[in-house]
Amino acid sequence: MANKRDRRLRDWKEIAGFFGRDERTVRRWEQQRGLPVHRISGGARSLVFAYTDELEAWLRGDEPPQQDETAALAEEPIAAKPVVPEAPAAAVLKGTTGPHWRTVLGLGAIAMVLAAFAGAVVARDAAAPPARIVYHPQSRVQNLYLDAVYHLGTRQADGLTHAIQLLTEATTLDPNYADAYVKLAEAYNTVSQFTLMPSNEAYPRALAAAGRAIALDPDNAGAYAALAFTTFYWTKDFPKSRELFEQAIRLDPDAAQTHHWYALTLLVSGETATPLSEITRAQELNPESRAIVANKALILFYAGRVDDAVMILQQLAKAEPNLRSPPEYLATIYLDQGRFTDFLREYRRAAEIASNGARLAIADAAAKGLREAGGAGLLSAMYAEQKRQYENNLEPAYKVAGTAAMLGRDDEAISYLQEALRRKEDDMLGIRIEPPFKGLRTDARYRAIVEHEGFRPAPLPGA
């Protein structure tokens, strides 16, 4: 026992130093991965200690060693949680761990997952278990998971694809690993946002993975956050999405990703104060996240703090030249401000990062129009090329509608918006707030489209 205590780490800083990571990471590992950290009975939760041999065993994936009597007395007691039976939807979702992932789930499956969610909440409240049991995967599976989390965090095409491969392998090797399903759901949500996979393929897979995670672990905050994201962007059930996000935050108020996603969904609904509060909290929890910084800048823009947004995005673009969101967001801001040369530079850069040939052709046409006839020439040339790319199914109707609206061609803008609505284009979620449509906000046809998408139209002037 004396030897064991000689290898005792006395606080979070020493535990983090043992792994060569920061304190935030090892705290998360304790919550999500069962890192063997002990607490002093009766003390604050920040008063912790750990034994290096237990940490080494955790890294190897060994069973936790039996503790001697004295050590057990020093720890905060943890009550065991009874095993929760699988939710009824699990039978539907089990097949999604194998080749049947390619089957696209319909709205009936979505309803079943949400029903399972409701059942899980009722079951949890009725049983009122005092604590969660932390699941310990084998070391090989855990290593796959940790590698996948790293690649997912890159927010690059190759990284996202590799993360899905690693997580698919992890869930195949261990179909009871709820956290791996959570990250798989997050990966599919993200690839859809990056247009690396059609939304009608990616979102149902995200839905299935999140549902499987909830069936395995009804108190898994990350699973509810992933399901909330899919519910917002795929099924567009905005009240249910909000309920799920708030449930996730109650379960884990320190999850940066949940606050981040929640902020974005509130933003497109037309709010600014609460999204800014949520994204600020996300940044406090994860100040290293490039995606959070970029989206905070976007929220600042919509809150009217244009200079702050531009400064953040310019700094981020310089530090991360291969990240697509900074030039995309800067292009949006510069076009709204009539800074056409700056707009073209950022629009082209975003197209280059995305390897989007259609957008590069649009940039070339817009540049020619700017040289020949200034800002009006840029918009006219851009509109003509966008329509050509649209006819080849390489540009969304929604984007064509935005340029038509900026040119004052209201009837054409409405026509393209109606086509985007018919096609169920993902970009339609921006209809309530995006700058190109400011001139249409008093148009009854536009307001009807906004309402059809599930949003409340902006107040009319003088209302």
pLDDT at 12: 83
Q: Does residue 99 have a pLDDT over 50?
A: no
**pLDDT tens profile 190-226:** 887 776 788 889 999 999 999 999 999 999 999 999 9
Q: What is the mean pLDDT of residues 355-380?
A: 97
Q: Are 266 and 233 in contact (CB under 8 A)?
A: no
Beta strand 8-9 pairing with 38-39: unpaired
- Top pLDDT among 460 and 392 is at 392
Q: Does residue 40 have a pLDDT over 80?
A: no
Ramachandran category for residue 445: left, alpha or beta (phi over 0 → left; psi -120 to 50 → alpha)? alpha
pLDDT at 4: 38
Q: What is the mean pLDDT of residues 20-47?
A: 73
pLDDT at 47: 62
pLDDT at 29: 86
pLDDT at 41: 41
pLDDT classification of 95: cutoffs 50, 70, 90: very low
pLDDT at 132: 63
Burial class (CB in 10 A: 0-12, 13-18, 19+), 280: middle
Beta strand 8-9 pairing with 48-51: antiparallel
pLDDT at 21: 79
pLDDT classification of 243: cutoffs 50, 70, 90: very high
**Ordered DSSP codes for 155-189:** -SHHHHHHHHHHHHHHHHH-TT-HHHHHHHHHHHH
Q: Does residue 135 have a pLDDT over 90?
A: no
Q: Are 443 and 410 in contact (CB under 8 A)?
A: yes
Mean pLDDT score across all residues of the chain: 83
pLDDT at 115: 46
pLDDT classification of 51: cutoffs 50, 70, 90: confident
pLDDT classification of 7: cutoffs 50, 70, 90: low
pLDDT at 26: 84
- Top pLDDT among 242 and 69 is at 242
pLDDT at 277: 97
Please give the angle made by the CA atoms of 236, 436 and 369, to the nearest 5 degrees.
135
pLDDT at 30: 86
pLDDT at 193: 73
pLDDT at 62: 57
Helix (H) or strand (E) holding 51: strand 48-51
pLDDT classification of 34: cutoffs 50, 70, 90: confident
Q: Does residue 183 have a pLDDT over 90?
A: yes
Q: Does residue 274 have a pLDDT over 60?
A: yes
Q: What is the mean pLDDT of residues 433-438?
A: 96
